[in-house]
Structure 1
């Protein structure tokens, strides 16, 4: 029995499972207005059952937007999207502008006063692709299905089942199963297939580019990595590694430039960033790699230049030895104004209520404030507009998932590194038709753009295949698409990427 037949058999079993659910999903018909044209689409908000040993194991919630078409061939592109965390629901991409209904932000991406306001997103991807927003197990309305032992009251068994999906490999397997099942359920095996993920979701996409093709027979046309975290070793802050600081440096400079704190370096933002990248790969890399091996006169010269770029004092640069973490930088840059800048977007500022304390106790202005906005928006859309009836709480960001996440494919703790670039390269080698789009906000200090730029230029692709990887950066932070101008340009770039990938 081939995989598609197995999926069809499981679909029949799912119909029985879903019939027994207390809160079945819904399907609604909506209109999308594009200039003078009205497009009709079906939105389906429902749960898909995943299995272990052919027994229901988890119920994954998703929201699908499928455009009505006169053609019955189902050859319209289909894009599966997920966010990261791990432990984050897909709500950020869903309601941030990619879906047909989105949150209204200020033009520069700042949040508007409550209550949340939603509107049709003129920058949605729906005009050129169908969309499926997937909430991995433990996020959104997705959950595990209790096994017999758990029902009997064995708390240990229940806890083990809850965390079964909270691992790198198990998570990827579950997403592959979901995508395969969706294609069977909706008869979309001939649709051009795209996958898109943000942050840890970008890591997922890089890994899935290889796994979907080699292990599940799913041919991917395009992989879209949004503010991705790709090589986790390069996210580690220490006194011994250098990659983290090299990757972060240009984003520190971009944020400093935004707040008019760059000193003695002339030019536009593009000019300054070009100089910053060159400095990072030459003098700054030498400083970090050499430590006290570098002559003091040369060391002081580089530290002075470093301080000018990032807008801090020479004394700060000397004390740190040029190793400024983003946590420190967010508080140090505007401390004379009693303000902090955002880790996820260095253009956003907030008040530091504890300017006299040595530790960082100020709330990050770009993290927790957005939760209330996205949670209100998705609940309004699903419950009030689409009339989904469920008593489950929508988990925007489940910290328990994050805390329990494990490297379940490791051989030994000491030697394991969480990496994705090798899988992306293998995926591109196995599928020569797949193209890759990697994008970042230049003011993002969590997943800095320079990391992806360096990695992309270390992939050792043949000359005639280098054009298969597109790199784009935008003004803004981790969710640069909250910025109206960046979102519009991004949507145009993604639309062009679809057209080029499909040769239209």
Structure 2
């Protein structure tokens, strides 16, 4: 493969917290060499670095998930100095114009930001050797190599370091933390990290053979998010989504847990009472719930939650709703989801338009937001350690390592309940773990109020490490 690497730097100034902050935007490609020295794929990154900043400033290494996703979503949704412009999260354009605006919540005054696109995503190139990294293990090893390269290139070994992973990126972050503090196949790494920030956590969903095997009935972990979505849409007995979420958590910890444990031995009277409570929380009919033995699933909830309106809520963000599908043929996992179909055009349009201009990227290469072939070909073999086990190992090795989990209560893909359960059952020091919920979806920063709350919590999480440096 032969192509011109995208490597250049531009300088900008932004107003952050009422202060002018001058920074450099460094676009860089990390080629994957073959045995003959030719570039056969690449990692692409955009680094936002405060001009004349000290080498001891904290650094965030940021990536989305998929697998096969670029860092577009966290770039233009949360961390970039320019983010997607919208009045509210339900008014995102699906056709031009797509605009950016200065991100008043940007954290560049506190830390430097590195957004990473693995091979085959974003501007990261696929090639003869890039497929060798399409696995849970090799992908994490490549990220370790890239972080090592970035620290060398920018002289930042003394900086507090944080990983930020979203969705599948939570699994990637867990494995990176494990092997970057120890060894890859070829070398000792021993790179210490101060923390990891996990958004839209998938670790609990991906650990059925490890620490969380034989875990709790998933109905209990999903109900709080179902309750929040139903309250949002006004189809339950609750008007406040967060109140419904908390009420469902309490119900799950007691009565609902006991009822599911009893199974067919549950009395008719108790079954009726539990079904009525579930109806109050979700709006699903008591007879439907009894017919399904009081057990819930995302498929059941999506189908019936808004049935009276002829709609279905979005899996990625239940606040969005779309007309229930008729005979439309094969469904598109993104285009036909009520949430993803509403916000993906704005993100991709804004990057390929104003963001490319802002960064002065003149390459004719296409930017790939999500590579579904890469996703389909991905090898999820865990090689002896599940993500939960890797996270536990990393926390055991490093007494300074801290974790932050941020979930959207309207996320029906990786629910806040599954995150809370996973955190409580991974053997690690919980005094070093922060768990937060936000009134948003799978991307817990979608919505300006949610983004502001999340950013404030992240500032508080990062500042302890930066204060003593």
- TM-score computed with the length of structure 1 as normaliser: 0.83
Tell me, yes or no, if the aligned pair for 1:59 and 1:137 is still in contact at 8 Å: yes
Tell me, yes or no, if the aligned pair for 1:168 and 1:409 is still in contact at 8 Å: yes
Tell me, yes or no, if the aligned pair for 1:50 and 1:177 is still in contact at 8 Å: no
- Decide which moves more: 197-206 or 436-445: 197-206
Tell me, yes or no, if the aligned pair for 2:407 and 2:436 is still in contact at 8 Å: yes
Cα distance in 2 for partners of 1:473, 1:122 equals 21
- Which one of 121, 141, 144 corresponds to residue 123 of structure 2? 141
Q: Does 1:459 align with 2:426?
A: yes
- Could you tell me which residue of structure 2 aligns to residue 292 of structure 1? 264
From the superposition, tell whether residues 96 and 311 of structure 1 become closer, same or farther in structure 2 (CA, over 3 Å).
same
Q: Does 1:61 align with 2:33?
A: no
- Could you tell me which residue of structure 1 aligns to residue 229 of structure 2? 255
Cα distance in 2 for partners of 1:186, 1:384 equals 25
Cα distance in 2 for partners of 1:475, 1:340 equals 19
- Could you tell me which residue of structure 2 aligns to residue 386 of structure 1? 359
Cα distance in 1 for partners of 2:32, 2:155 equals 18
From the superposition, tell whether residues 360 and 144 of structure 1 become closer, same or farther in structure 2 (CA, over 3 Å).
closer
Greater Rg over alpha carbons, structure: 1
Aligned length: 455
- TM-score computed with the length of structure 2 as normaliser: 0.89
Cα distance in 1 for partners of 2:383, 2:134 equals 14
- CA shift, 1:130, in A, is 0.5
Gaps of 5+ in 1: 1-16, 147-160, 412-417
Cα distance in 2 for partners of 1:440, 1:129 equals 22
Tell me, yes or no, if the aligned pair for 1:234 and 1:244 is still in contact at 8 Å: no
From the superposition, tell whether residues 234 and 180 of structure 1 become closer, same or farther in structure 2 (CA, over 3 Å).
closer
- Could you tell me which residue of structure 2 aligns to residue 81 of structure 1? 62
- CA shift, 1:26, in A, is 1.8
- Could you tell me which residue of structure 1 aligns to residue 28 of structure 2? 46
1:170-211 C-alpha deviation (Å, 9 max, x unpaired): 110011111001111111111111110111112212222222
- CA shift, 1:108, in A, is 4.2
Tell me, yes or no, if the aligned pair for 1:109 and 1:482 is still in contact at 8 Å: no
Cα distance in 1 for partners of 2:351, 2:302 equals 30
- Could you tell me which residue of structure 2 aligns to residue 197 of structure 1? 165
Q: How does 1:150-161 map to 2 (within 5 A)?
A: 161=129
Gaps of 5+ in 2: 184-188
Q: Does 1:272 align with 2:244?
A: yes
SS in 2 for 1:214: coil
Tell me, yes or no, if the aligned pair for 2:207 and 2:387 is still in contact at 8 Å: no
- Which one of 368, 373, 378 corresponds to residue 346 of structure 2? 373
- CA shift, 1:35, in A, is 4.7
- CA shift, 1:395, in A, is 0.9
SS in 1 for 2:41: strand
Tell me, yes or no, if the aligned pair for 1:311 and 1:333 is still in contact at 8 Å: yes
Cα distance in 1 for partners of 2:58, 2:286 equals 53
- CA shift, 1:301, in A, is 2.6
1:397-453 C-alpha deviation (Å, 9 max, x unpaired): 111011111124447xxxxxx832221121111111111111001110001011111
- CA shift, 1:377, in A, is 1.5
Q: Does 1:478 align with 2:442?
A: yes
- Decide which moves more: 186-195 or 324-333: 324-333
SS in 2 for 1:64: strand
- Which one of 369, 375, 386 corresponds to residue 396 of structure 1? 369
- Could you tell me which residue of structure 2 aligns to residue 442 of structure 1? 409
Q: How does 1:195-274 map to 2 (within 5 A)?
A: 195-215=163-183, 216-233=189-206, 242-263=216-237, 268-274=240-246
Cα distance in 2 for partners of 1:332, 1:278 equals 24
Cα distance in 1 for partners of 2:33, 2:197 equals 27
SS in 2 for 1:328: helix
Tell me, yes or no, if the aligned pair for 2:16 and 2:105 is still in contact at 8 Å: no
Q: How does 1:355-370 map to 2 (within 5 A)?
A: 363-370=336-343
Q: Does 1:132 align with 2:132?
A: no
1:437-496 C-alpha deviation (Å, 9 max, x unpaired): 1100111000101111122222344xxx43211111110111121211111111111111
Q: How does 1:262-341 map to 2 (within 5 A)?
A: 262-263=236-237, 268-341=240-313
- CA shift, 1:358, in A, is 13
From the superposition, tell whether residues 227 and 492 of structure 1 become closer, same or farther in structure 2 (CA, over 3 Å).
same
SS in 1 for 2:406: strand
